[in-house]
Amino acid sequence: MAILGARTVQSCREDRCLIRPTRERPGGPAQGRSVVNKLQELGWKEGRDYNFDLRFGGSDAGVMSALAKGLVRSAPDVILSQSNLALASLLKETRDIPIVATVIGDPVGSGFVKSLSRPGGNATGFTSFELSFGQKWVQLLKDVAPGVRRAGVLLHPETQANESYLQAVKGVSASFGMTVTRMGVHNATEIEQLVSDFARQPDGGLVVIPNPVTNEHRELIVTLAARHHLPAVYAFRHFANIGGLMSYGIDVVDLYIRAAVYVNRILKGAKAADLPMEQPDKFEFVVNLKTAKTLGLTVPSPLLIAANQIIE
Q: Are residues 66 and 172 in the same domain?
A: no
- How many other β-carbons are positioned within 10 Å of the β-carbon of residue 189? 9
Q: Are residues 166 and 136 in the same domain?
A: yes
Q: Are residues 186 and 300 in the same domain?
A: yes
User: Residue 209 carries which DSSP code?
Assistant: -
Q: Are residues 103 and 193 in the same domain?
A: no
Q: What is the pLDDT of residues 105-136, one digit of tens each?
A: 889 988 999 999 999 999 999 998 888 999 99
Average pLDDT over residues 155-177: 94
Q: What is the pLDDT of residues 34-56, one digit of tens each?
A: 888 899 999 988 878 887 766 66
User: Residue 308 carries which DSSP code?
Assistant: S
Is residue 213 within 8 Å of residue 184, measured between CB atoms?
A: no
What's the structural domain count of the chain?
Answer: 2
Instruction: Assign 10 a pLDDT band (cuts: 50, 70, 90).
Output: very low
User: Residue 21 carries which DSSP code?
Assistant: -
Is residue 256 within 8 Å of residue 33, measured between CB atoms?
A: no
> Residue 75 sits in which domain range?
2-128+252-281
Q: Are residues 117 and 224 in the same domain?
A: no
Q: Are residues 258 and 232 in the same domain?
A: no
CATH of the domain at 77: 3.40.50.2300
Q: Are residues 159 and 113 in the same domain?
A: no
Question: Within 13 Å, how many C-alpha atoms sit on residue 118's CB side?
Answer: 1
Is residue 23 within 8 Å of residue 29, measured between CB atoms?
A: no
Q: What is the 3-state secondary structure (H, E, C) of 239-297?
A: HHHCCCCEEEEECHHHHHHHHHHHHHHHHCCCCHHHCCCECCCCEEEEEEHHHHHHCCC
Q: What is the pLDDT of residues 73-101, one digit of tens each?
A: 888 889 998 888 889 999 999 999 999 99
Position 36 scores a pLDDT of 84
Q: Are residues 94 and 53 in the same domain?
A: yes
CB neighbour list of residue 148: distance below 8 Å, 6 or more residues apart: 141, 142, 178, 203, 204, 205, 231
Q: Are residues 12 and 118 in the same domain?
A: yes
Q: Are residues 265 and 119 in the same domain?
A: yes
Q: Are residues 210 and 195 in the same domain?
A: yes
Q: Any alpha helices (H) in the chain, and if so which ranges?
A: 29-41, 61-73, 84-93, 132-144, 160-173, 188-198, 212-216, 218-227, 237-241, 252-267, 289-294, 301-306
Q: Are residues 182 and 68 in the same domain?
A: no
